[in-house]
Amino acid sequence: MKRILTILALSLMCLTSNAQLVWKISGNGIQKPSYILGTHHGCPFNYCDSIPGLMKALDKVDNIIGEINMIELAEMSPERMQKMQAMMMMPVDTSLLSLFNEEETAKVNAWLKDEMGASLEMLSVMKPMTIMVTVQNKEMMEVIPEIATMTTIDKYMQTLGQRKGKTIGELETADYQMELLYGNSLEEQADALLEMIDHGDSKGLLQQLTNAYKSQNLDMLWKVFQEQMTGYEYDAIVKVRNLNWEKQMKELLPKQSTLFVVGAGHLPGESGMINLLREAGYNVKPVKK
Q: Look at residues 266, 57, 281, 261 and name the one whose alpha carbon lies nearest to residue 159.
A: 261
pTM: 0.87
Give the CA distances from residue 108 to residues 92, 99, 121, 182, 241, in Å, rounded to whole numbers and listed in that order.
21, 11, 11, 19, 33
Residues 208-217: what's their mean pLDDT?
76
Query: Over 70: is that where the pLDDT of 285 sits?
Result: yes
Alpha helix (H) residue ranges in 170-268:
174-182, 186-199, 202-214, 218-228, 231-234, 240-252
Q: Where are the domains of the chain?
A: 2-81+152-178+216-286
Q: Look at residues 236, 245, 289 and name the one whose alpha carbon lies nearest to residue 267.
A: 245
If pLDDT is split at 50, 70 and 90, which confidence band does 11 have? very low
The pLDDT value given to residue 264: 82
- 243/9: higher pLDDT: 243
**Helix 102-116 vs helix 128-143: angle between axes, to the nearest 10 degrees?**
30
The identity of residue 215, as a single letter, is S
* C-alpha dihedral sign at 224, 153, 74, 238: negative
